[in-house]
Structure 1
Amino acid sequence: MGEPGPGFIRRGLWFAIGLFFTGLGLIGVVVPLLPTVLFLILAAGAFARSSPRLEAWILDHPRFGHHVRDWRERGAIAPRGKLFAMGGMAGGYTVFWLSARPEPWLAAAVALTLCLIAAWILSRPS
C-alpha cells in the first residue's frame, strides 16, 4: 500500500473546508448577523468536491436547502436575505463611520464599495 495521492489530499482539504463553513453556518443559526446561508452555500461547494453525501445533506436540508439550491440554479437571493444584507451593510458602515472617524476619501471609498455590492445583491433574482 503506497502513499495517498494528490487527489486524496485535495479531497481531504475540500472536506475540511466544508466542515469549517458548515460550522460557521450552524453558529450563524443562533448568532445574529452571521450569514448562515452564505456559509452553507460555500460548504456545499466544498462538499461537491469531497463528500456527495454531505453535499446532499445541505441541499436537502428542510430549512436551508432551498436557499442553497436557488443560489446554485439561478443565482437567486430571497427578499428577506436581501433585506438583511442591506441592513447589515448599513449598520456596518454606520459603526465604521462613528467609531473610526475615517478621512472623507476613505469614508467615500467604503460607501462606494458597499453601494456597488448592494446594487449587485439587489440585481440578483428573488
Structure 2
Amino acid sequence: MTIRKLGYLALGFLGLALGAVGAVLPLLPAFPFLLLAAYGFGRSSRRLERWFKGTRLYRDNLVDLAAGRGLTRRAKVRIMGTVTAVMAVGFVMMHAVPVGRIVLGCVWVGHLLYFRFRISTVPEKDPTVDH
C-alpha cells in the first residue's frame, strides 16, 4: 500500500471515529466527518468503501445525499442545529471582533440558503421497512 493510500485510510478512520462520536454528541456534527470517511475509504480501498457503505451510520446519514436524492427534513434540521450551535459559540466569543461576527453571520446564512434551496428534501423512510 502506498503512502498516499495510507493517508486516505487514516483520513477515513478519523472521519469515521469523529462521525460516530458526532452521531451521539449533539454539539459535534456527524455529517461532515462521515463525508470525510466516505472520501477517505473510497480513495484507499474498495473493500473498506463497501464496508463503510454497509454501515448504519452511512445508511442513516449519507446514502440519500450520495445517491443525489437529498436529505430528510430531520437530517437537515439536525445538521443545521449543530452548525448553528457551533457558530453561536464562535459568535459569542467574538464579542470584540464585529467583522468576525459579520463574516460568521454571512456564513451561517449561506448554510441556511444552501440547505434550503440546493439540497433536496426527501421523505422520511418507513422504519418498519428494511432498506
Question: Counterpart of 1:34?
Answer: 28
Q: Is the alpha carbon distance of 1:37 and 1:88 closer, same or farther for their aligned partners in structure 2, counting shifts above 3 Å?
A: closer
- Provide TM-score, normalisation by structure 1: 0.77
Question: Counterpart of 1:57?
Answer: 51
Question: Counterpart of 1:110?
Answer: 104
- Provide TM-score, normalisation by structure 2: 0.75
Shift of 1:97: 3.8
Q: Which has the higher helix share?
A: 1
CA distance in 1, matches of 2:90, 2:43: 37
Shift of 1:33: 2.2
Question: Counterpart of 2:95?
Answer: 101
Bigger-Rg structure (1/2): 1
CA contact (8 A) 1:40 1:58 kept: no
Query: What is the number of equivalent residue pairs in this alignment?
Result: 120
- RMSD of equivalent CA atoms: 2.2
Structure 1: stretches of 5+ with no match in the other structure: 1-6
Q: Is the alpha carbon distance of 1:28 and 1:101 closer, same or farther for their aligned partners in structure 2, counting shifts above 3 Å?
A: same
Shift of 1:64: 3.3
Deviations 1:37-56, CA, capped at 9 Å, x for gaps: 33122111111111222211
CA contact (8 A) 2:5 2:43 kept: yes
Q: Where in structure 1 do 4 or more consecutive aligned residues deviate above 4 Å?
A: none
Task: Give the counterpart letter for 2:31 in structure 1.
Answer: V
Task: Give the counterpart letter for 1:125 in structure 2.
Answer: S
Task: Give the counterpart letter for 2:66 in structure 1.
Answer: R
Q: Is the alpha carbon distance of 1:92 and 1:63 closer, same or farther for their aligned partners in structure 2, counting shifts above 3 Å?
A: closer
CA distance in 1, matches of 2:47, 2:94: 45
What pairs with 1:14-33 in structure 2 (closer than 5 Å)? Answer: 14-33=8-27
CA contact (8 A) 1:22 1:39 kept: yes
Task: Give the counterpart letter for 1:26 in structure 2.
Answer: A
